[in-house]
């Protein structure tokens, strides 16, 4: 709700100026929302593509795991996997997308050489190496999906916030300012009519001849 404004010419000009500024702000927000929606569509397409890549890589990793289990047995594969378990430091990095601050995940390369994984190469085989390689690539894709999904969520939240701002300006702020401006204009017009009527009455009184004095009858 807008605050009441004095019914003056200055107040009327202020209301009309504020309504014009609000309309300009609404138009800028609409342009911003359009840019956000375009970027959201692009990033969402990217997300769907990365999810599909992750799905395929997960299938390859599962197939490699099953093949290694068949060849060496589950205990051997589990033992090798325990030797490869290490932490993955991840850093959150901010960047701007269509004017919105989003978060990326920054980390060192996930895929390693066989000699860097910690298990004994003499007691394992290429099948175990393939399990490690495919799962490392799967984890790399998973982190990429997480980063893109964070961007999609942030863009969606900003689109929703911008839409609510546009709707508030369209449905509340601008109509309220325009309505107040009309009310003030009506009051000013009524005052002007009353003032013109008063001036006309005063002018008519000045133009009317003074009544002649009456004479008293002789007794």
What is the residue-wise DSSP string for 118-129? SS-GGG--HHHH
Structural domains counted in the chain: 1
Please give the Cα distance from 162 to 7 (Å, whole number). 33
Contact 42, 148 (CB under 8 A): no
Please give the Cα distance from 184 to 189 (Å, whole number). 9
In a domain? residue 199: no
Please give the Cα distance from 17 to 175 (Å, whole number). 13
Tens-digit pLDDT profile for the chain (219 aa)?
455 667 788 989 999 999 999 999 999 999 999 999 999 999 999 999 999 999 999 999 999 999 999 988 988 888 888 777 777 788 888 888 777 888 888 888 888 887 778 777 776 788 888 998 999 999 999 999 999 999 999 999 999 999 999 999 999 999 999 999 999 999 988 888 888 888 888 787 777 765 656 665 554
Please give the Cα distance from 74 to 145 (Å, whole number). 29
Domain CATH code at residue 161: 1.10.287.3240
Which residue range forms the structural domain that includes residue 171? 9-178
In a domain? residue 207: no
Q: Does an H or E element contain 8, and which?
A: none
């Amino acid at each position: 709700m807008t605050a009441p404004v004095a019914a003056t010419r200055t107040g009327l000009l202020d209301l009309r100026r504020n309504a014009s500024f609000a309309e300009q702000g609404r138009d800028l927000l609409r342009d911003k929302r359009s840019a956000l929606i375009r970027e959201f569509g692009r990033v969402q397409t990217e997300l769907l593509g990365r999810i599909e890549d992750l799905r395929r890589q997960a299938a390859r990793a599962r197939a490699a795991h099953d093949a290694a289990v068949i060849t060496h047995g589950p205990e051997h594969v589990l033992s090798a996997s325990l030797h490869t378990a290490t932490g993955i430091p991840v850093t959150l990095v901010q960047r701007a997308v269509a004017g919105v601050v989003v978060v990326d995940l920054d980390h060192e390369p996930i895929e390693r050489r066989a000699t860097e994984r910690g298990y004994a190469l003499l007691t394992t085989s290429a099948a175990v190496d393939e399990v490690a390689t495919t799962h490392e690539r799967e984890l790399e894709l998973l982190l990429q999906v997480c980063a893109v999904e964070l961007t999609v969520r942030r863009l969606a939240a900003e689109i929703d916030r911008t839409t609510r701002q546009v709707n508030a300006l369209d449905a509340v702020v601008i109509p309220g300012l325009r309505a107040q401006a009309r009310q003030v204009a009506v009051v000013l017009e009524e005052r002007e009519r009353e003032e013109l009527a008063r001036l006309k009455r005063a002018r008519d009184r000045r133009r009317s001849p003074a009544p002649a004095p009456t004479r008293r009858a002789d007794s």
